Structures are given as C-alpha cells and as structure tokens.
Amino acid sequence: CRTGPGLVYDIRAYLSEGAVPVLLGHTHDNSWWTVEEPEFKAICWVSTEFVSVQGDLENIAILTPAPTPTLVPTPTPNQKGMKIFLVALNTGGPFGCGDGLVYYYTGKKRTGDVERDISAALNALLKIRTKYVGDYYNPTYNAHLHVKNVEVNQATGRVVIYLAGSIPKPADVCEAKRIHDQVWETARQISGYRDVGIHVGNKLLGDLIAVGDR
C-alpha cells in the first residue's frame, strides 16, 4: 500500500491477504484506491490489481493524488549493482516484528566476483552510523563491524562471511530480528547464493544478537 497511486511512490504499509481496509476514494479510472488500514492507522493507495472492491461506489470520492515524486536518475538494470537494506518500521511486513525492508543502491556496480560484491555491500551498510536514513530505520547503526573475509562455495552456493569488530546486544527480540533481517538480506542478495553464514571472530553473529537464554 503506497503513498500515492503508482509504483514510483514509497510503500507505507503492507496489507495482509483477507484484510478489509476502509475505502476512502479512487482515481478517475478506478486503477488505484485510497484505503485506511485501521490496525496500522495508515492511509495509502493500493492498485486494483490486488484488491476486490464491493458495495455501493456511487458516493466514493474521486481523489487527486499528490504530485508524483521527483525521481533521482537511476542506472540501467545492468548497472544498478549492490544494495543495502533498511527497515520500514511497523508497516505490517514479514520482517522484524511486523516491519518491511526497503533497499538503496550502494553506487557500486557488480563486478561478477561474488566475494567482492558481497563484501562491498555489507561494508557499505556497516559504515552507516545514523539511526535513521530518511524515514527508514537502520538497526546496525551502533555496530562497529567490517568485513574481514568472504568465502564462497561455487558448487553449493554456500557463503560464509567473517566480520571483525563488535555489536551491542539488542534490547529485545524484535530488535534482534531487525538486525538479522537487515544484514542477511544484504548478504544474500545475489541469486544462487542465499545460503549464508556470518561469523564475528569465532562466534556466530546469530548467537551474538540472540536475546534470551542461549
């Protein structure tokens, strides 16, 4: 569900299958609908491709959307390169505790060297020291980590990443999940290399960020 009627607008919330949001309005051609999701208190636009609208629509307002956001010129697909992921908090997504993930391109093109590309993406993420990037949360903002080595098994697609440095223990389970999802999605973005293990020194990163009795 987006901030405006089109894919160029940011995602505001995720609507689960079977959800029944409140219908507020629509575009003149009925291609997008404005709805309110009571659970998340979000007013947003959803494409007619993903919803079934029922009932008397005669009194539903035809709305004029906000101006289309100014897009930053983006590279062609074969130039886009590696991405980092940030957390869209409380948007009803499948990550963290009801969160979504959004990505930004690092500006580093893929080299075709899997080890180098994964290392570049993770280091770009781990260098960000701000808690928020725009509206999006960066759960590793207080980590002091960098990539030491990346090993790839070309036969199996298994990737083992060795980090150096330290990371504070998360405050709760939700924060641990956000860190895990952010780091792992950044690490396993290359097709065919999604089986990822991450170590910090001689310990698993998953163990270091685990909250509870482990």
Q: pLDDT, tens digit, for every residue of 100-154?
A: 999 888 878 899 999 999 999 999 999 999 999 888 999 999 999 999 999 999 9
Question: Do 118 and 25 fall into the same domain?
Answer: no
- Mean pLDDT, rounded, of the chain: 85
Q: Which of 47, 70, 93 is the last residue in one of the domains?
A: 70
Q: What angle do CA 92, 135, 182 make, to 5 degrees?
A: 60
102 and 167 both lie in a single domain: yes
Pick 76 or 39 by higher pLDDT: 39
Q: How many domains does the chain fold into?
A: 2
**And the tokens for 183?**
């780091």
Locus of tokens 């993420």: 125
Distances (CA, A) of 139 to 5, 26, 53, 167, 169: 30, 36, 38, 11, 11
Q: Are residues 36 and 134 in the same domain?
A: no
34, 136: one domain: no
Domain for residue 192, yes or no? yes
Is 155 contained in some domain?
A: yes
pLDDT digits (tens, 9 = 90+) for 162-205: 999 999 999 999 999 999 999 999 999 999 999 999 999 999 99
Query: Is there a single domain that holds both residue 3 and residue 99?
Result: no
- Is 132 a domain residue? yes
Q: Hunting for tokens 């990505």 — which residue is that?
A: 103
* Rg (alpha carbons) of the chain, rounded to whole number: 20
**pLDDT at residue 155 above 90?**
yes
Contact 136, 88 (CB under 8 A): yes
Based on the fold, state whether residues 186 and 84 are members of the same structural domain.
yes
What residues make up the domain containing 113? 77-208
> Residue 26: which CATH number?
2.30.30
53 neighbors 60 (Cβ within 8 angstroms): no
- In angstroms, the CA 146 to CA 124 distance is 9
* pTM, two decimal places: 0.66
Section 87-109 average pLDDT? 89
CA 150, 122, 192, 198 torsion-angle sign: positive
Q: What is the pLDDT of residue 91?
A: 87
Give the pLDDT mean for 28-56.
78
Do 54 and 113 share a structural domain? no
Q: What is the DSSP letter of 68?
A: P
**213 within some domain:** no
In a domain, 82, yes or no: yes
